[in-house]
Amino acid sequence: MTEFSPLITETPTEHPFAQFVRILGKGKRGARDLTREEAREAMGMLLDEKVEDTQLGAFLMLLRHKEESAEELAGFTEAVRERLHAPALKVDIDWPTYAGKKRHLPWYLLAAKCLAQNGVRVLMHGGGAHTAGRLYSEQLLDLLGIPLCRNWQAVGTALEQHNLAFIPLGDWAPQLQRMIDLRNILGLRSPIHSLARALNPLGARCGLQSIFHPGYQSMHREASGLLGDNAIVIKGDGGEVEINPDTISHLYGTTAGQSWDEEWPALSPRRHVKPATLDPAQLTALWRGEIEDSYPQLALISTIALALRGLGTPRDAAFELAQQYWDNRDRSI
């Protein structure tokens, strides 16, 4: 009779990232938020590509289901900033643009352009056209003469020459862009869409953030406060940093570690009719003064005022200055 040796097996070693999936997914009673340090470590592993694809998908969707906390958002942001190696460039306004517009044209682009003409240095960044049926900033840069930059050196040059620069997320945080692009595979937006708005990669004097879903605005304000950033968070039109003049706008601000709130009344006594189609040519026509249109003019002037408010100008003075900027703009493109 042949003797068989018992089969000796070793217990597989747990993947280092598994602990973070477990923290988030341990059930209603066992799951909890990540601490700020845990969030920083977890995002660091994601950015350093030290996780499996299955772990990435599970982590993003568990966060999406749970809804991220201010501590988690702050930790994630710290991990990204630690890996940026960005140069020291003077920036006044950090302007994330990740949502795209579907009801109205992106009038905020004219607001940023007008601010830049008046010496306000604006950095814009976005994540590409990831959702069908929306019009994204990246698609309109050439039309409006906004510099598209593919690295920080080009950003520096554009800021010096034009006070305005746009850099795609994929050129300075490609791992985050990959996570955003998973939307069509996972079927849901992940918390990376929110994270991108909080990054303020060059440490601008004020970061403007638009968060559409109720309740998230105060959380983003808290995260920016934890990071020591100055920021204003709004529920912008379509998820972009653009004031909707037809509704009351609530500003969730944080300045020098102190939270503040401000409510701006609607600027129009009645709602404007939504345009039947979005024609980008209307952007240049309005800029050149070839057409007059109440909604976009109210939207962009109040959005200019929002940026000025973020730089410390009181509301009434910000609106007066915004109107002056718009009236005196260089209308060539």
Mark whether 165 and 294 lie in a shared domain: yes
Q: What is the domain range of residue 181?
A: 93-268+276-327
User: What confidence tier does 259 reach under pLDDT thresholds 50, 70, 90?
Assistant: very high
Structure tokens at 12: 């597989």
Final residue in a domain of this structure, among 60, 82, 104: 82
Average pLDDT over every residue of 162-189:
93
Which residue has better confidence, 185 or 23? 23
Nearest CA to 322 among 114, 122, 162?
114
Mark whether 72 and 201 lie in a shared domain: no
Count of residues in the chain:
333
pLDDT attached to residue 129: 79
**Which of left, alpha, beta for 48 (phi over 0: left; psi -120 to 50: alpha)?**
alpha
Residue 149 carries which DSSP code?
-
Final residue in a domain of this structure, among 51, 82, 113: 82
pLDDT attached to residue 6: 60
Report the CATH number at residue 48.
1.20.970.10
Mark whether 284 and 250 lie in a shared domain: yes
Which residue has better confidence, 166 or 128? 166
Query: Residues 269, 123: contact at Cβ < 8 Å?
Result: no
In a domain, 10, yes or no: no
Q: Distance (Å, rounded) from C-alpha 34 to C-alpha 329?
A: 48
Sign, CA dihedral 310-311-315-316, equals negative
Q: Indicate the pTM of the whole model.
A: 0.93
Q: Is the pLDDT of residue 45 over 60?
A: yes
Terminal-residue alpha carbon distance, the chain: 92
Query: Residues 278, 104: contact at Cβ < 8 Å?
Result: yes
Q: Distance (Å, rounded) from C-alpha 286 to C-alpha 121?
A: 23
Report the CATH number at residue 292.
3.40.1030.10
Average pLDDT over every residue of 274-295:
93
Mark whether 289 and 264 lie in a shared domain: yes
pLDDT attached to residue 276: 82
User: What confidence tier does 128 reach under pLDDT thresholds 50, 70, 90?
Assistant: confident
Average pLDDT over every residue of 23-32:
88
Q: How many domains does the chain have?
A: 2
- What does pLDDT average to over the chain? 93
Q: Is the pLDDT of residue 2 over 70?
A: no
